Amino acid sequence: MPRKSTVKPVPAGMHTVTPSMTIAGCVKAIDFYTRALGAEELDRHMAPDGKTVWHAALKIGDSVLFMNDEMEAMTGPAPGPGRPSPARLWLYVPDCDAAFRRAVDAGAKVKMPLEDMFWGDRCGVVTDPFGYDWTIASRVQDLTREEMQRAGEEFAKKMAAPK
């Protein structure tokens, strides 16, 4: 008869889904995310070569983000020139204007300026130096589904209008 385990299947402080990023230059990325996004480094395991990050964990707000250096046999290539990341990370913060400015000041490039959006968020998109896009957002208005639908239709008309 199998023994009953007392180990929790989801570790303390973790959520069910945790993003894991492969990065060329993970040590530099850890420094960047600490400066640009206020990340707290929770853990770092280095390969025997002392240069390759096998695994790192950062906490941003109430979420944990895993990352590692690219290791061809295990992870495949990291995003880079001509290889954009197919994933975008969405970061909710109390003050998206300040967080956006902090990320840009730390070296992120503006992909989409901050704007109030039809679903009630104010958000903008930056690309970090490692090829990942971050949508930095704050909820600024709670809308009903109907209000969101109407605002979305107006937004679509505005986007379709000739410039």
Residues 71-98 pLDDT 10s: 877 888 899 878 888 889 999 999 999 9
Strands 133-139 and 88-92: parallel
Residue 78 in domain: no
Total structural domains within the chain: 2
CATH of the domain at 88: 3.30.720.110
Contacts of 75 (CB under 8 A, 6+ apart): 22, 68
Residue 93 in domain: yes
Residues 148, 97, single domain; the answer is yes
Domain that holds residue 52: 1-72
Q: How confident is the model at residue 1 (pLDDT cuts 50, 70, 90)?
A: low
Residues 65, 93, single domain; the answer is no
Residues 88, 149, single domain; the answer is yes
Residue 79 in domain: no
DSSP 8-state code for residue 81? T
DSSP 8-state code for residue 45? E
Query: Nearest 5°: CA angle at 33, between 32 and 34?
Result: 90
Residues 7, 31, single domain; the answer is yes
Residue 77 in domain: no
Residues 146, 91, single domain; the answer is yes
Residues 3, 48, single domain; the answer is yes
Residue 26 in domain: yes
- pLDDT per residue as tens digits for the range 9-44: 888 888 888 999 999 999 999 999 999 999 999 999
